[in-house]
Amino acid sequence: MHTALLLEMASDAAPDRIILGEMEAGISYAELAARARGGAAWLSTQPGETVVYLGLNSPHLPVAVFAAGLAGKPFAPINYRLSDEELRRLVARTAPSVAIVDEDMLPRVQGVDGVQLIGSGAFQAICEDAEHRAAELPFVDPDIGILLFTSGTTGEPKAAVLRHRNLTSYVISSVEFLCADDDQASLVSVPPYHIAGVSAILTGIYSGRRIVHMPAFTPEGWVDLAAKEKISHAMVVPTMLGRILDVVESRGEKLPHLKALSYGGGRMPQIVIERALKLLPHVDFVNAYGLTETSSTIAILGPDDHRTAIRSTDPKLRRRLGSVGRPLPTLELEIRGPAGEVLGPGQAGEIFVRGDQVSGEYLSKKVIRDDGWFPTNDGGWMDEEGYLYVEGRLDDVIVRGGENMSPGEIEDVLRAHPNVADVAVLGIPDNEWGEKVCAVVVSRAGECSIDELAALVKERLRSSKTPELWVFRDALPYNDTGKLLRRVLKAELTKPADELASA
Amino acid sequence: MKPGSRWKSAVCDTEVVVVRPPSSALEIECGGHPMVAAGTSPPAGLSLSPEFSAGTKAGKRYSDDESGLELLCTKAGQGSLSIGGRAIGEKEAKALPSSD
């Protein structure tokens, strides 16, 4: 099934409903469909085989997504925050391609071999042109819908392949068609090159919930726009939520229209979600766990799970706030050990997933197995009731003397200390234990006592999980979508030993 | 009957797309008559059978346990869906909270 059919269905059923942009000057389904057809008519006559998008969030983005789809060309949104050199190297990999580029970014990618450039404004003019809109489109057999470059936290970005059938399978199995009321709107602040940015467009179109794009995230801007546009739904990455809460708290803003806030794209510190539940008690919080290679969400911790956990004093229920919930009913999910054996409740291993939405494929290689199972390279375990706990990338799990430890669990404990502003825990090679636990701490005003922090971990977890190495920094390295760059930290910490304070 | 292939009713506005193909070849009917591949014209002179006139709803999925066939209705119509005269029911879908 082609993703363009999602738009066709909606524009057939509700042509006049405003689906994109602001309340006052929004774009209807019929207009979006007409623009996409106009863009597709032009794109299908261009030599480029892939449609690159280099630009900020705007209503132009969904138009370009559907135009590329109707023209039968993969859509490849690119990270504009890369350095010029990285950007040009990545864009060169898409050749032969046609690139839709925000006018102010054009000079950055001029003159790349096999890449034809068109400004975003010029492309919109084409989409609005009557002749292009009326042109007959060639029949296309849907194949690759989206090419997404992974964030490359572990090396050179890989191009993940998402086929139309993966994407539509995710949408039709997780969203009810036109389920949103006329007055609902969702705020999209994740960038176009993030899987959540792509899936927000597809599920937004199918649900009928007006999509309001935020060009570039700032917490003040987010709160302003949410109030002005009466935003009912939004998705944020964990770092965004923490900063939004700071603004909400300092302004005393209540966000009365906000009904649901989902979060994902990285581990949510428990202290942040607890604060969110306290500050915004009327909001339904949803933790969505997914990967680029799975066309977005594969497990959900729902609003009721959040409320039950926050009210409970039972540690088993309480810790569910650190869980990503249960797998979607349309998927199979297993935890497997090193020899490929399926593990039971409470046992940690690698998360495997199978289902129609799972692509598990890159342009360079297929990772998905012949039987459809995809090894996610994420470590995790499930409790007796099927709640999934993600420990992070397998390479990040610390193995000390044969014991597996999740950095996130230790980070949560340390972050609860009033003097800790931010913290990263990682494994450093050690001759005796294989790895030893190291904590990199950003302290708030004043001194942080190592003894006090160590005692906290010992008390809440156990002594083997207590960091043996403590490092203090002014800030931690993150990429622009809020993923901690552990690789960078680890490389720095395994170099000079003499500057580090050993506990 | 390939996944993703599109079919339309010979007697009403209903259109469907194949989500999951059947285990063996079969003909889907709507309004009591075989559906035709999208883009082709249906035979003339057919009319909606009252027995199969409960209607289809856009965005609903219809599935048949016996053949494994699953369809998504992409355009609503007056007819209802069947295979060899056996009605196909709406698939129960559990609503999930919005995650995007």
* Cα Rg of chain B (Å, integer): 13
pLDDT value of position A409: 86
pLDDT in tens, B2-54: 999 999 999 999 999 999 999 999 999 999 999 999 999 999 999 999 999 99
> Rounded mean pLDDT of A288-297?
96
Helix or strand (DSSP H, E) at A168: helix A164-174
Q: What is the pLDDT of residue A480?
A: 77
- Minimal CA separation from A116 to chain B, in Å: 32
Nearest CB to A142; choose among B4, B59, B100: B4
Q: Supply the pTM of this predicted model.
A: 0.90
Query: What is the pLDDT, as a whole number, of residue A463?
Result: 84
Sole residue written with tokens 């009605």: B87
Count of residues making up chain B? 100
Task: Kindly tell me if the per-residue pLDDT of A201 is higher than 60.
Answer: yes
A172 close contact with B: CB closer than 8 A: yes
pLDDT greater than 80 at residue A296: yes
Mean pLDDT of A222-248: 95
Average pLDDT of the residues in A49-58: 97
Q: What is the DSSP string of A472-484?
A: E-S---B-TTS-B
Residues of chain A in contact with residue B6, where contact means CB-CB under 8 angstroms, are 5
Which of the four pLDDT bands, split at 50, 70 and 90, describes residue A408? confident
Give pLDDT, residue A154: 59
| Region A92-113 average pLDDT | 97
Which are the contacts of A361, defined by CB distance < 8 A and separation ≥ 6? A160, A161, A293, A367, A368
Chain A residue numbers touching B17 (CB-CB < 8 A): 1, 5
Q: For the residues B47-75, what does the mean pLDDT come to? A: 96
**Alpha carbons A112 and A448: distance in angstroms, whole number:** 51
With 90 as the cut, is the pLDDT of residue A236 above it? Answer: yes
Residue A153 banded pLDDT, cuts 50, 70, 90: low
User: Which pLDDT band holds residue A23 (cuts at 50, 70, 90)?
Assistant: confident
Q: Both tokens of residue A407?
A: 């950095």
pLDDT, residue A166, reads 97
3-state secondary structure of A457: helix
Question: Where does the pLDDT of residue A59 fall: very low under 50, low under 70, confident under 90, or very high at 90 and above?
Answer: very high
Distance from C-alpha of A345 to C-alpha of A28, rounded to nearest angstrom: 48
- A5 CA: distance to closest CA in chain B (Å): 8
Task: Check B99 against A176: CB less than 8 A apart.
Answer: no
Q: Which residue of B has its CA nearest to A202?
A: B100
Chain A partners of B95 at a C-beta cutoff of 8 Å? 176, 179
Going by their DSSP bridges, the two strands B89-90 and B61-63 should be labelled as: antiparallel
Which residues of chain A lie closer than 8 angstroms to B5, CB-CB? none
CB A157 within 8 A of CB A90: yes
For residue A287, give every residue at least 6 positions away whose Cβ sits within 8 Å of its Cβ, in sequence order, or none: A262, A263, A264, A268, A273, A300, A301, A306, A323, A324, A325
> Which pLDDT score is estimated for A267?
83
User: Which residues between 41 and 70 in chain B have a beta carbon less than 8 angstroms from any beta carbon of chain A?
Assistant: 58-61
Instruction: Provide CB contacts within 8 A for B90, sequence distance 6+.
Output: B57, B60, B61, B62
Among residues of chain A, what percentage have pLDDT more than 90? 78
Report pLDDT for A503. Answer: 41
Task: Evaluate whether ipTM surpasses 0.85.
Answer: yes
- Supply the pLDDT for residue A152: 63
Q: In what order do the strands lie in the sheet with A374-382?
A: A332-336, A349-354, A374-382, A388-393
Per-residue pLDDT tens over the stretch A324-358:
999 999 999 999 998 999 999 999 999 999 999 99
Distance from CA of B46 to the nearest CA of A (A): 25
For A130-140, the pLDDT digits (tens) are 999 999 998 88
pLDDT greater than 80 at residue A481: no
Span A214-226, mean pLDDT? 96
pLDDT above 80: residue A499: no
Q: Is there a contact between B58 and A177 if contact means CB atoms under 8 Å apart?
A: yes
Q: What is the pLDDT of residues A384-395, one digit of tens each?
A: 999 999 988 888
Mean pLDDT of chain A: 93
pLDDT in tens, A33-49: 999 999 999 999 999 99
- Say if residue A82's pLDDT is above 50: yes
* Residue located via tokens 């004043």: A446
State mean pLDDT over A466-493: 88
- Distance in Å, alpha carbon of B57 to nearest chain A alpha carbon: 10
Strand-pair partners of A20: A27, A211
Burial code (b: 16+ CB inside 10 Å, e: under 16) for B28-67 equals bbbbbbebbeeeeeeeeeeebbeebeeebebbbbbbbeeb
Phi, psi of A311 (to 5 degrees): -85, -15
Strand A403-405 and strand B81-83: pairing?
unpaired
A254: left (phi over 0), alpha (psi -120 to 50) or beta: alpha
Sign of the dihedral defined by the CA atoms of residues A341, A346, A351, A355, in that order:
positive
What is the identity of the amino acid at A197? G
Whole-number Å distance between alpha carbons of A280 and A255? 8
A233-236 and B89-90 strand pairing: unpaired
Q: What is the pLDDT of residue A87?
A: 94
Taking CA–CA distances from B13, the nearest residue in chain A reads A12
Lowest model confidence (mean pLDDT) among A125-134, A261-270, A402-411: A402-411
**Which of B75, B95, B99 faces A262 most closely, judged by CB atoms?**
B99
Task: Give the 3-state secondary structure of residue A428.
Answer: strand
- State yes or no: pLDDT of A502 exceeds 80: no
Q: Which two tokens stand for residue A42?
A: 């032009």
Q: Within chain B, what is the greatest distance between any pair of CA atoms? A: 48
Does the CA dihedral A315-A333-A425-A497 come out positive or negative? positive
Residue A76 has a pLDDT of 98
Tell me if residue A440 falls in helix, strand or coil: strand
Which residue in the set A8, A13, A196 is minimally distant from B100, CB to CB? Answer: A196
